[in-house]
């Protein structure tokens, strides 16, 4: 009779080390290609690697003794430089792929001014990224983290079994996510019950996105943090966990697309001043229509996670690791 072997229980410290090693390697993998400015996808992947590394560093801060140059704050500074360049690439991709093919010839001519402005801003952002990757803070970040990975230093909590502390790591992030005021944008409270405003016309939605855009964008950033942290432990949970993780990603993607559309509108207005709607009326209407459709994609998820039962089931899924 074959006796089943008991699986090795990883400690919190081992799990933290593996996460930091994985995302640090992902970041460095794309550095050379980013420096050569050969492929926008490399920039995207390096930025994602930095963001995920930052999540791992911040969430495992209570477990590890990391060098100061590899702190959450310092990684964030580097990631923001990459992000500024990536945002311009996304703007260009969206203009070229989503909107330019739908514009009449007259408006396509006006886009020449837009692409010229984009090229100038991108050149400056690229120079900023290249300087960042040559500067001492980035070199220090790399060197000290490489040294730490060769000889890691932990705090006492690192010896705890990962399963013992999983809910304690994840549930505080869930609480921050569910208590975010962005969930209440576009709702009304009637007799202590939150109701989704499904009767709004396009103009009302536009007004609300203008006044509450920062709050919605911040909810998107919190969804991203929630997703990245959940993904750190995805292999320790059953299928139901993956379903919730996919919905968090949908929330992040939809709110991110709304933000991209809002930013593009503001950026174009800045270029053309008050004449944006005059020079590019079709594009202005397409952007507004895009936001209207995205808002109606967001509302079912918003309604779902404003319900007590669904929030409770989400928390239960966090408690039920493999």
Tens-place pLDDT, residues 270-299: 888 878 888 899 999 999 999 999 999 999
Task: List, in sequence order, every beta strand (DSSP E) within the chain.
Answer: 187-190, 193-196
Please name which of 166, 180, 161, 321 lies closest in space to residue 248, comparing C-alpha atoms: 180
Instruction: State residue 11 phi and psi, 5-degree precision.
Output: -85, 165
What average pLDDT does the segment 211-238 reach? 92
DSSP state of 186: T
- pLDDT at residue 204, rounded to an integer: 87
| Whole-number Å distance between alpha carbons of 19 and 10 | 13
Average pLDDT of the chain to the nearest whole number: 91
CATH topology of domain 9-160: CHAD domain (1.40.20)
**How far, CA to CA in Å, does 291 sit from each of 118, 255, 296, 301?**
22, 10, 9, 16
Whole-prediction pTM value?
Answer: 0.89
pLDDT of residue 9: 57
Q: How confident is the model at residue 1 (pLDDT cuts 50, 70, 90)?
A: very low
Burial of 293 (0-12, 13-18, 19+ CB in 10 A): middle
**Any idea where the domains of the chain sit in the sequence?**
9-160, 161-321
Cα three-residue angle 89-246-215, rounded to 5 degrees: 60
> How do residues 229-245 score in pLDDT, each as one tens digit?
999 899 899 988 999 99
């Amino acid at each position: 009779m074959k006796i089943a072997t008991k699986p090795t229980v990883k400690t919190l410290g081992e799990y933290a080390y593996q996460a930091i090693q994985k995302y640090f390697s992902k970041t460095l993998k794309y550095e050379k290609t980013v420096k050569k400015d050969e492929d926008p996808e490399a920039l995207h992947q390096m930025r994602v690697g930095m963001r995920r590394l930052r999540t791992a560093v911040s969430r495992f801060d209570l477990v590890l003794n990391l060098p100061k140059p590899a702190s959450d704050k310092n990684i964030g500074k580097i990631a923001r430089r990459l992000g500024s360049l990536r945002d311009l690439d996304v703007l260009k991709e969206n203009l070229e792929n989503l909107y330019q093919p739908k514009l009449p010839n007259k408006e396509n001519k006006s886009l020449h001014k837009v692409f010229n402005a984009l090229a100038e801003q991108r050149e400056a952002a690229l120079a900023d990224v290249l300087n960042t990757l040559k500067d001492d803070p980035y070199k220090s970040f790399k060197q000290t983290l490489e040294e730490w990975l060769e000889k890691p230093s932990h705090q006492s909590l690192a010896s705890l079994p990962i399963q013992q502390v999983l809910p304690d790591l994840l549930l505080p992030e869930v609480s921050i996510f569910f208590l975010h005021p962005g969930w209440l944008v576009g709702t009304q409270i009637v007799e202590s019950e939150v109701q989704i405003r499904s009767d709004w016309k396009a103009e009302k939605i536009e007004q609300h996105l203008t006044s509450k855009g920062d709050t919605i964008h911040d909810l998107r950033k919190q969804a991203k943090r929630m997703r990245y942290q959940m993904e750190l432990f995805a292999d320790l949970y059953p299928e139901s966990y993956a379903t919730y993780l996919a919905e968090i990603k949908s929330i992040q993607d939809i709110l991110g697309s709304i933000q991209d559309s809002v930013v593009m509108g503001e950026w174009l207005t800045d270029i053309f001043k008050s004449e944006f709607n005059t020079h590019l009326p079709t594009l202005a209407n397409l952007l507004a229509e895009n936001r209207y459709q995205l808002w109606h994609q967001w509302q079912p998820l918003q309604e779902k996670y404003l319900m007590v039962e669904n929030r409770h089931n989400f928390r239960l899924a966090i408690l039920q690791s493999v």
